[in-house]
């Protein structure tokens, strides 16, 4: 399929896991992709992999918590590709532990990347998304943006819940401007973000709690993003799409 052949996209956190899979899928669908991340070597590899397959991609180092870096990233996409149609706010970090042992620094760091980064990115891209005529913002929230999970990772839950309602708020604000804004809520997806849980009882629990009885693959989230990015989802805005093997069913 070549559903995104006339689209340009900016994917944050594109060096790894879900972001990498989204960048590869978008490029395979014909989009020109600006891959951004704080991991430079890995991010460059993703852009190189896309180019080797005949796709269009460049990598740029970009910290989503940095307001001025957002201006530079959006300008880079526009100068390289002539505009910006799709923004994927994917970069994220996890936090472990309970409410009692979470320090203020840890809490604020998680909120800064997972929540404030989405605000900064969406605001920075506003003008170009509106000019696009088919702008689409895809925010990667989580099943933990809707449910209380296992009673751990309070900052992550708070941030991902905020992303869910920020998505709906901007969807309404921009509906008449022709920019669609949706969130994807992955369940347990097999990426490096789960590394801290490997070999612990949490790893088994993730599979046990998933009705389909397995972890998801990053490519399965990327397929949902490709749908939301393009015209197949032309009347879909303010929606939350669960890619969770039935976790929240």
Q: Which of 71, 76, 19, 90 is nearest to 50 (CA)?
A: 19
Should residue 203 be labelled a site residue for ligand NAD when binding is judged by CB under 6 A? no
Number of other CB atoms surrounding residue 194 within 10 Å: 16
CA of 114: how far to CAs of 79, 165, 198, in Å?
27, 13, 22
Should residue 225 be labelled a site residue for ligand NAD when binding is judged by CB under 6 A? no
Catalytic site residue from 107, 156, 227, 247:
156
Give the three-state DSSP class for 153. coil
In the complex, what is the shortest distance from the CB of residue 94 to ligand NAD, in angstroms, rounded to a whole number?
6
Should residue 181 be labelled a site residue for ligand NAD when binding is judged by CB under 6 A? no
In the complex, what is the shortest distance from the CB of residue 145 to ligand NAD, in angstroms, rounded to a whole number?
8
In the complex, what is the shortest distance from the CB of residue 123 to ligand NAD, in angstroms, rounded to a whole number?
16
In the complex, what is the shortest distance from the CB of residue 101 to ligand NAD, in angstroms, rounded to a whole number?
20
Which one of residues 124, 189, 224, 228 is an interface residue with ligand NAD (CB under 6 A)?
189
Burial-class residue 234 by CB neighbours within 10 Å (0-12, 13-18, 19+).
Answer: exposed
Should residue 12 be labelled a site residue for ligand NAD when binding is judged by CB under 6 A? yes
Should residue 90 be labelled a site residue for ligand NAD when binding is judged by CB under 6 A? yes
Q: How far apart are CA 93 and CA 74, in angstroms?
A: 22
Residue closer to ligand NAD by CB (options 37, 220) is: 37
Should residue 171 be labelled a site residue for ligand NAD when binding is judged by CB under 6 A? no
Which one of residues 28, 64, 209, 226 is an interface residue with ligand NAD (CB under 6 A)?
64
CA of 12: how far to CAs of 25, 38, 69, 80, 240, in Å?
14, 9, 12, 17, 19
Q: Are 14 and 36 in contact (CB under 8 A)?
A: yes
Give me the helices (H) in the chain, please. Answer: 17-28, 40-52, 67-81, 104-111, 117-132, 154-174, 201-208, 218-229
Residue closer to ligand NAD by CB (options 63, 203) is: 63
Should residue 92 be labelled a site residue for ligand NAD when binding is judged by CB under 6 A? yes
Residue 234: alpha-carbon gap to chain centroid: 19
Residue closer to ligand NAD by CB (options 63, 219) is: 63
Mark whether 156 is an active-site residue.
yes
Judged by the rule CB under 6 A, the positions of this chain that interact with ligand NAD are 12-13, 15-19, 37-39, 63-65, 90-93, 113, 140, 142, 186, 188-189, 191-194
Q: Which residues are catalytic?
A: 156
């Amino acid at each position: 399929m070549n559903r995104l052949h006339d689209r340009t996209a900016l994917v944050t956190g594109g060096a790894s896991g879900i972001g990498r899979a989204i960048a590869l899928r978008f490029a395979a669908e014909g989009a020109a992709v600006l891959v951004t991340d704080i991991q430079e070597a890995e991010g460059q590899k993703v852009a190189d992999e896309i180019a080797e397959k005949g796709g269009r991609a460049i990598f740029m180092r970009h910290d989503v918590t940095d307001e001025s870096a957002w201006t530079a990233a959006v300008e880079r996409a526009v100068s390289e590709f002539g505009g910006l149609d799709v923004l994927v706010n994917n970069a994220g970090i996890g936090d472990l532990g309970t409410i009692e042992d979470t320090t203020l620094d840890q809490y604020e760091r998680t909120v800064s990347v997972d929540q404030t980064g989405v605000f900064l990115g969406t605001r920075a891209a506003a003008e170009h998304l509106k000019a696009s005529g088919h702008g689409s913002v895809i925010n990667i929230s989580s099943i933990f943006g809707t449910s209380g999970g296992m009673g751990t990772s309070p900052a992550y839950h708070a941030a991902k819940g905020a992303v869910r309602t920020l998505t709906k708020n901007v969807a309404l604000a921009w509906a008449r401007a022709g920019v669609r804004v949706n969130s994807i809520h992955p369940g347990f997806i097999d990426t490096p973000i789960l590394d801290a849980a490997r070999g612990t009882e949490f790893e088994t629990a993730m599979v046990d709690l998933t009705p389909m009885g397995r972890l998801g693959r990053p490519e399965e989230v990327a397929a949902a993003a490709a749908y939301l990015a393009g015209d197949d989802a032309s009347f879909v805005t303010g929606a939350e799409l669960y890619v969770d093997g039935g976790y929240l069913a």
